[in-house]
Amino acid sequence: MTATAPRRIEVADAPASGEVGLITRGIAFAIDAIFVDLVAWIVGGALAIIASVFDLPKDVQTVLIAVGAAAALVWIVGYFAVYWATTGQTLGNRIMQIRVRSADADAPLGLGRALLRVFGAFLSALIFFLGFAMIVVDPHRRGLLDHIAGTIVVHVPDQRSHSI
């Protein structure tokens, strides 16, 4: 038997400074989650109060709850998908000055790829968040959702400091 040499793992080079790491993206996502949840809770609470005024049958209540849950899902998916598809910047991204764009070109994603990225985000969370952990070790700081949708997240230079 020959002694096997330890498997050499290529350590990625330090990523370019324009690509955004996990913690910054996590903070931006947390800001988005707070905003999305806040709006959902306010709207949902207001609708629940209005519905409580009427004496609705139990079946209707069940249907309304299902509709509300579907609306919440549409709201969450739509929030991220629309912003990623158009400007590439959600509210959290704006605060953290980062932007989602195509990996191959500096262009908007389009709705299809944005929805694909949302699906990739769900999938990344589903497999014990390993899809997000990839960002730490990927040479271009891309997670599973970025690989699925062909996207990359980059820093946006401060426009005001450039305009001075």
Nearest distance from residue 136's CB to other proteins, in Å? 5
Binds other proteins (CB under 8 A): choice among 3, 8, 59, 163: 8
Nearer to other proteins, 41 or 129 (CB): 129
Give the number of other CB atoms < 10 A from CB of residue 54: 7
| Site string (16-45) toward other proteins, x via CB under 8 A | ----xxxxx--x------------------
Site for other proteins in 97-156 (CB under 8 A): 97, 136-137, 141
| Residues within the interface to other proteins (CB under 8 A) | 6-9, 11-12, 14-15, 20-24, 27, 95-97, 136-137, 141
